[in-house]
Every structure is written in C-alpha cells, then in structure tokens.
Structure 1
Amino acid sequence: MIINRRQFIINTLITAVAGSALMACGQSTTSKSITPVEIDPHTTCDLDGMLLADYPGPKAQIFYEGKESPTFFCDTVEMFNTLLSPEQVKAVSAAYVQDMGKADWDQPRGNWIPAKEGCYVLGSKRHGSMGPTIASFAHEADAKKFVGQWGGKFLRYAEIKPDMVDLSGGALHDTRM
C-alpha cells in the first residue's frame, strides 16, 4: 500500500496528538497529598459541635473530594457511622483516625493514621467522647494488648459493619432516665 505525502503527514499528526493525550492521562495536575490536620482547642465535631480537645478517646477526620479542610468527628463511631451510611454519597479522598497505641487516651493529640490501615477494638471498657467507642490502632499488637487490658473484640477496618456503629442507641437504651 502506497501512502501519499499528505496522508502520511495527517497520520503522523493524528498519532502524535493521540499519543500526547494518552501520556497526559497518567499525569495529575492535582497530585497533592492529603495530610491529616491536627486538632486545636477550638476544633469542633461537625456532627454535634463538641470541642474535640475536651474529651477522651480516639478522634477522626474525613476529607471529601473538592474540600481542602476535613470534617472532624469527636469519636470513631461517628466517623464509621458516616462512612457506612447508605446516604453517604460524597466522594471521600481520605479518612484518618488516631493511633491509640501512641496517643494519650485522655487527651489524644496527633498520631493520625489512615483509617483503612487501622486495627480496631469494639466493645472495650474504655469510653470516648460519646460513651462506648471503637479504639483505633496502627499496629495489631497494640490493639491486642488493649483487648487484654480493657476487653473488646479485635476487628479490621472492613469488618466494621453499620449495625456496630448505630448512633441512635445512647438515650434510647439509658435505663436511668
């Protein structure tokens, strides 16, 4: 098959444009990494307005696509309830919890880890800001040591289900009222 010069130039241009477009697909102009934001004395929970620094137990934060600042939670149960809710349709860029193997339970600061990489303890005797909580850890050994001391069940991120993080229970099951 013989191609004339004009057809050769057109084919070359089409190939060059297509190749450039394909190469650009793998490059992101917004490849900014998302890092957790530290809480301060004025940081409030986006669900209930509580000051995070005033309460014990692990805290959490979610970054939604298109937002530079996170949504804060005063408790990991609130974060899981939000993420596992069928109404949750916002795209999540990142979620972080505190590593309670390193953080002080009574005044947790720093020690943020990606929520999906964490190990968790459900049903321990330790309470967070909203009562019973899900303790979060970076390392399995720390989580299992916590279970030995405080009780509870060891879980991976994917094992936490919506019925484990129901927020409607507090007042409904309080027999002192």
Structure 2
Amino acid sequence: MKLKTNSVGWLGRAAKTGLSALVVLSVVACHKADQPIQPIMPTSQTTCALDGMLLLDFPGPKAQIHYADGETDFFCDTMEMFSIYLRPEQQRRIKAIFTQDMGKANWQAPLGQWIDARKAYYVVGSNMSGSMGPTLASFARMEDAQAFSKKHGGKVLRFDQVTPEMTTLGGGVIHDERM
C-alpha cells in the first residue's frame, strides 16, 4: 500500500509540475502575442504586393500591412495600401499598418521613419507624385501635413477620412503608352 501511495503522490506532483509548466508557457505565449508589431525595414529586394515593383526604387511614402496570420504586404505607395485596406472584399485580419513620416523622410528616397498609418495625417491631391503617380503624403504631425499642403497643394485628412474614391489606381502605368 505504501508504494502505491508514494507512486500516486509522485504522479500527482508530476502532474502539478506539468500543469504549472503549461500555465507558464501559456502566459509567455500570450505575452509574446500581445507585444506590439514593429515595422520591417525594406531591403533593396523588397517588392510591392500589388505590382512587384522594388520599393526602394521610387519616391514618396511607402507602406506595409501586417496580417494576423503573420504575413506582411509591402506597398511602393500609400495609394496602393489604401486601395487594399479600403476594399470591401478585404477579409484578412489586419494587426498593424505602417507608413512613412514624410515630415522627416526624404521624398525622393524615403528610408525609415515608420509610423502607425492609422494615427497619421494624409495630404490628398498634392502636386507630389509617388511610384505610380498621385499619392497620399503621410505625416506623423498635423503641423507637418499642413505645411506640406500649403507648399504642394491638397487637403489634410485623418486615416479614417480617406475614402475608396480617393484611392483609385488609374494613374501611372495604365496611362503610360510606352509600355
């Protein structure tokens, strides 16, 4: 009898230890899942999800969408990012969206300066072009967006004020008859 009691006691302790380990692993996994997503720095080989163009070869703000399934789409233009995000058939769960702060980045060769696209201000209708023609200039600060708008034209909007009608992809390559 004593042997049985000890083996049950040993098994009970092992089960408790295993259960404790599972709880710790669950907490660690949840903590990791709750960590904020960080933007990914594009390389010279990073291509646009829509047209395959190399991101770093073109002027204007770039964008990236991080999905819940762990995949990331890059865009050589904010116009393309909005056209995907605002599609009514867009069913993929989005975890984060980033664009570049053109108040700090060089328009002709923007590097870094990634900001949360949902908190950014956008200038729609300016005379500055992105990779595919007209684009939405993105800014972390309202003051920078307003200064850009005064210099280059256009209207300052928040992320949630941008509509699908503002993000048509009808410029750029479609109208280039040399292609």
Runs of 4+ aligned structure 1 residues displaced above 3 Å come to 168-172, 174-177
Deviation per CA, 1:141-176: give whole Å up to 9, x if none: 00000011100111111110011111245566x497
Q: Note the alpha carbon deviations across 1:12-45, whole angstroms, 9 max, x for none.
A: xxxxxxxxxxxx99x9342232000011111110
| d(CA) in 2 for partners of 1:176, 1:86 | 31
Q: Tell me the equivalent position of 1:144.
A: 146
Q: CA deviation at 1:133?
A: 0.3
Q: CA deviation at 1:87?
A: 1.0
Write the letter of the residue equivalent to 2:40. Answer: V
Q: Give TM-score scaled by structure 2 length.
A: 0.78
Q: Determine the structure 1 residue equivalent to 2:120.
A: 118
- Verify: 1:89 aligned to 2:91, yes or no: yes
Query: Which one of 129, 133, 136 corresponds to residue 134 of structure 1?
Result: 136
Q: Which residue does the alignment assign to 2:67?
A: 64
CA RMSD, Structure 1 to Structure 2 (Å)? 2.3
The secondary structure found in structure 2 opposite 1:72 is: strand
Cα separation, partners in 2 of 1:175 and 1:73, compared to 1, 3 Å = closer
| Gap runs ≥5 in structure 1 | 1-23
Higher mean C-alpha deviation, range 76-85 or range 29-38: 29-38
Structure 2 residue matching 1:28: 3-state secondary structure: helix
Structure with the higher fraction of residues in helix conformation: 2
For structure 2, the 5+ residue unaligned runs are 1-25
Aligned residues: 152
Amino acid across the alignment from 2:159: Y
Mapping of 1:1-177 within 5 angstroms? 28-29=30-31, 30-67=33-70, 69-170=71-172, 174=175
Q: Sequence identity of aligned pairs in percent?
A: 48
CA distance in 2 between counterparts of 1:176 and 1:92 reads 36
C-alpha distance in 2, partners of 1:140/1:41? 31
Which amino acid in 2 is paired with 1:85?
R
Q: Which amino acid aligns with 1:42?
A: Q
